[in-house]
Every structure is written in structure tokens, then in C-alpha cells.
Structure 1
Amino acid sequence: MPFPSGRVLAFDSGIGGLGVVQALRSTLPGDTRIDYLADNALFPYGEQEDTLLVTRLVSLIGERIARLRPDVVLIACNTASTIALDALRQNFDVPFVGCVPPVRWAARVTQSRVFGLLSTRGTARRPYLRSLRDSYAADCEMIVHGARALADLAEQAFLGYPVDDALVAEELRHLFEAPMGNRIDTIGLGCTHYTFLTESFRRLCPPEIHLLDPALPVAQQVGRILAMQTVCPEREDRPETLTLTGHPVDSVALKRAIARLGYDDITVLENVDAS
């Protein structure tokens, strides 16, 4: 059954969530409006304190909900999802879809019962990740690498800049050279940014590795939630927006990249505290 159209607000700390937007474009009807908000002034979220992020997210998302009136809000950020979804759902009467590390999926796929997870350092150290493992992969060895460099490399890839394979391989090395790392047969992407490095991962990993990117399953979940909503037609008529909380380092490259996803321009929210 095809998914209905509507208005979706997608959020991430940077451009990583645009990987999920890409999946939304291929999954939802062409007349679906997808607004995007990136809190790039505080990127990367994985390096920030939880309390600060929850307060900031409630404020930023609340402003966008009031202005855009989305049918569904997608938190396309693992860090934000793991720490702030409960607070967002308590504060706003709109459905939320989050992104969490694909631990359950990895446990279903792995044959060796050893899988790797690439994430931000913040996600790697949070108890939530261990609770996912205990709940869904208790019979597996989960090897986690909190990679600070990969999010930046992913942004370079999205903007069309070359990415040094050696830098990506160095991050993968932390998985394969860990105890039991030689038994890894599955790697989950625990940060939406990493979608843009998929080609590099496939080229640099052994060919038998299953690479799990949650972008498409998350997009399909958004479609299922839309199917349960009563969509207000006037919401669909307003143009889509792509909004940042800080000025991009290379606006020319970013505009060229977002044009591939159907966005015409960038709006920068003024007077957003970057702390």
C-alpha cells in the first residue's frame, strides 16, 4: 500500500539527517513537504552535555512546530533521539519518530553473534546503548567504536569533497582489531551522518560484512505514522524550508548539495545561542 503525503519536519545536528530525507523522498509521495532543521551551531551533538541538549531541543523543535505545523516530526539524530524523545513527546502533541542505533536489527542479521557499531562518542558512552544491547542482543558481542572523525568526513562527502580512505579505514580498524573483532560479520551505522560514507564503508570492509543503514526503515516508519494521521491540506501548500542555526562554512557547496534533494535555498535562524 502506498504511503500518504503530508508535512514532515526532519531534525538533525548537521546534514546527517539529509540521508534520511533522501530515503523519505524515495519512499513518500512526491507532494510530501519535508522541512529540515539542522542545529549546526552546536554540531556535533555527540560531544555535548545531555541536559543542555534536551533544553535546546525542546526550544528549537517547539519553534518549528508552531511555525510549520508538521504532521510528523522526525528526529534524524541518534544522540538527540536517545536523550530527548521522551521530553519532546511530553511537550508537544505531534507524533515523533526517532533514530536509534540498529542494535536489534544487527542481532537479527549476524550469524557469528558478533557485530560492530559505529557511533558518535556521545552515543557510545550513554547507558541507553547498553540497554539496547541487553534488551535485544544479549546473546551477542557488541563492539562499539565512538568515532569523532566520521561525522565530519560524512559532511565532506555530502558536500562533494573527496574523503581520504585512510581516515575512514582508521575508524573501521577500531572495530576489527578489538577483541573478537575478527568475528564481526555485521556493522550497524549508529549515526545518520554515516549514510554518506556508505560507499567508503563497502569498499573498505571485507565483502562478507552486512552493513546496516537505518535510513530506509526510519523513512518507512514515518510513512506508517503519516498513514495514521488526519493530514490538514493547507499545511502542504506552503513551500518547504531548510533551516540552519548557524551560517554554513561553505554555502555554495551546501546549496549545490541540497539542490539534489529538492531544496532551493537555506534559511539561517538568527539569535540562536550556540552554547
Structure 2
Amino acid sequence: MTGPAHSGTHHLLAFDSGIGGLGIVRALRTLNPALAIEYLADTAVFPYGEQDDAFLVERVLTLISEAISRLRPQAVVIACNTASTLALDALRAAWPEIPFIGCVPPIRWAARLTRTHVIGLLATRATIRRPYLNRLHALYAPDCTLIAHAAPGLAACAEHLFRGEDVPPSAIQREIAGLFDRDTTGKLDAVGLGCTHYTFVLEQLRALSPPRIMWLDPANAVARHTLTLLQNQPEVTSPSVQPRAWFTSMPPEAEALRRKLPDFGFDEITLWPSLPASQKITA
């Protein structure tokens, strides 16, 4: 498929373990439709939040190294909280000439909005257990009580909903129940999304939580920050071929996923070429 003709644009790579980063891709395209965005999803080891830290650091560095060599992006969005909190410093050290934009838990945003000084974070186990979260809390919200809750199955719920599959409200309720069980004072009023997948369950989270809760999705903020950094990068000639959505293994229910990809500017599922398989599902 040939992309639209533009005199110049910026060339980005967005990386996640699954479909979560597509929320940031959507925000980027809304702000600047001319962007050339490649998407790489490491579906072979989804979900990242349940993987070993050392394994993930090596995995992310290897995949990003391959992607930089093959795709030559001007900037890389690590559209995954787990990968960002684990590997962002190492990525920046390895490629200091390339801007890396990460996704971090929106603790500072929650601290600005809360009226009760009781804030929450919904995230993966990997993000919750990382010392980085404690540093964010101490730096940006020292006067707030932070209730950080791991929802190990919520990213999978988001993947199912994204593909149009039925997910009973009770499944999502089970994932978030612990957050509100720990709010013994009933003062929790601002909860940050600490996983990009949760963008796609935001409607359900709002429906299943007390009306006082402000759910904070940082996708738009990440997109705005990315565009700010790109102001320092020269525009390049737009590619004649539409950038692709790459996957490290064929995703479950691939046909349902393929039907959703045009909403985010992609027209096919393409397997990442470091894998032996070369099949792809075309539109």
C-alpha cells in the first residue's frame, strides 16, 4: 500500500509488547497525521509485566538494535511502561544520538490533580515492584499516600477487547478490586494508568469504579512530548511505502487484529524478519 504524499515528515518507531502502544500511535497521528510511524510489538513474549527483569532488558536491547539498523528511525517511543522503567537508561546510553521517549507511571500528574492526597497506580507486577516507582513517589508526590496495585491479567483483557472479543465485567472487576480494597479511608481520587494496554479498558475502568475516581491515561502527554522532541530533528522525505506494524510472533486471533489496524494507520500484520517465519496477513 502506498502512503500519502508529503513533502517532509519525521520517521518514528513505537515499541510495545502488544497492542498497548497503539494508543500512543493514535494520539501521535491525531496531533500530526503526516508522521511516518513504524510499530513493533514483541508478541512472542507478551505480557512483559510477567517476565524476568534481566531477560527483558536483554530482549528489548536486542530488538531495538535490530529495529534501528533496519528501520533507521529518528526517534523511538518505548510505548510500554515495563520496558521503559527497565531499559530506558540502557537504550539512551547505547544510542545517545537518538531520542528515546518512555512511558512512566503518571505519579506527578496524579499528585497535581488529587484533592485528598491519596493517589493510585494500576500497573503490571513488574512496574509495581521496581524501585523506580518509589523514586517517582518520593520525588513528585511525597505528601501523598500512594496505593500501587498490580493487575496481572488486565493487559490480556485489553487485548481481547481490542480484538472485539467479549470480556465479562467481572474479569476486569477482579483485576482492580484490590486497588479499592486497600483504600480503607475512601479518599482515593486519582489513579494513573501504569500500562499502555489499559488505554483500551479505560471505558470499563470508569464504569466499574466509584464516580470520584479520575483515571489518568498518559498517552496524549507522551505523544505531545514526542512531538516537542522532534522539533529538533530535521524532516525527512516521506516513505513511498506505508510504514508497517511488525510483530515478533503471529498474534492470537490475528484476523480480528488485522481488521483493527487500519484505524491506527496500518494495513497488515508483518512478522519481524529476525524470526524464521515470513508469513503475513494482508488486507
Give the TM-score normalised by structure 2: 0.91
The residue matched to 1:248 in structure 2 has which SS? coil
1:5 deviates by 3.5
The residue matched to 1:228 in structure 2 has which SS? coil
Matched, 1:173 2:181: no
- Distance in 1 (alpha carbons) for counterparts of 2:178 and 2:113: 21
* Count of paired positions: 268
The answer to whether the 8 Å contact 1:35/1:241 transfers is yes
* Residue aligning to 1:220: 224
Q: Residues 62 and 139 from structure 1, CA distance in 2 versus in 1: closer, same or farther, beyond 3 angstroms?
A: same
Matched, 1:26 2:61: no
Identical counterparts, % of pairs: 49
* Residue aligning to 2:41: 38
1:162 deviates by 2.0
The answer to whether the 8 Å contact 2:110/2:191 transfers is yes
1:17 deviates by 0.5
* Residue aligning to 2:146: 142
The answer to whether the 8 Å contact 2:17/2:45 transfers is yes
1:237 deviates by 3.6
- Distance in 2 (alpha carbons) for counterparts of 1:20 and 1:81: 14
The residue matched to 1:16 in structure 2 has which SS? coil
Q: Deviations over 1:218-250 (max 9, x none)?
A: 01111111111112325x444211100011111
Return the match for 2:60 from 57, 60, 63. 57
The answer to whether the 8 Å contact 1:13/1:42 transfers is yes
For residues 196-235 of structure 1, the aligned pairs below 5 Å read 196-233=200-237
- Distance in 2 (alpha carbons) for counterparts of 1:249 and 1:169: 24
- Distance in 1 (alpha carbons) for counterparts of 2:225 and 2:62: 25
The residue matched to 2:153 in structure 1 has which SS? helix
The answer to whether the 8 Å contact 2:114/2:189 transfers is yes
Q: Deviations over 1:97-155 (max 9, x none)?
A: 00001011111111100011100011111111111111111111110111111000000
- Distance in 2 (alpha carbons) for counterparts of 1:250 and 1:212: 29
- Structure 1 residue runs of 4+, over 4 Å off? 270-273
The residue matched to 1:161 in structure 2 has which SS? coil
The answer to whether the 8 Å contact 1:114/1:180 transfers is no
The answer to whether the 8 Å contact 1:160/1:257 transfers is no
* Residue aligning to 2:108: 104
| Contiguous gaps of at least 5 residues in structure 1 | none
Report the more deviating stretch, 262-271 or 216-225: 262-271
AA aligned opposite 1:254 = L
- Distance in 1 (alpha carbons) for counterparts of 2:61 and 2:29: 26
AA aligned opposite 2:83 = A
Return the match for 2:74 from 65, 71, 75. 71
* Residue aligning to 2:131: 127
* Residue aligning to 1:160: 164
The answer to whether the 8 Å contact 2:242/2:266 transfers is no
The answer to whether the 8 Å contact 2:12/2:38 transfers is yes
- Distance in 1 (alpha carbons) for counterparts of 2:125 and 2:212: 26
* Residue aligning to 2:90: 87
Matched, 1:240 2:243: yes
- Distance in 2 (alpha carbons) for counterparts of 1:121 and 1:272: 28
The residue matched to 2:212 in structure 1 has which SS? coil
AA aligned opposite 1:6 = H
The residue matched to 1:112 in structure 2 has which SS? coil
1:171 deviates by 2.1
The residue matched to 1:162 in structure 2 has which SS? coil
Q: Residues 238 and 271 from structure 1, CA distance in 2 versus in 1: closer, same or farther, beyond 3 angstroms?
A: closer
The answer to whether the 8 Å contact 1:71/1:231 transfers is no
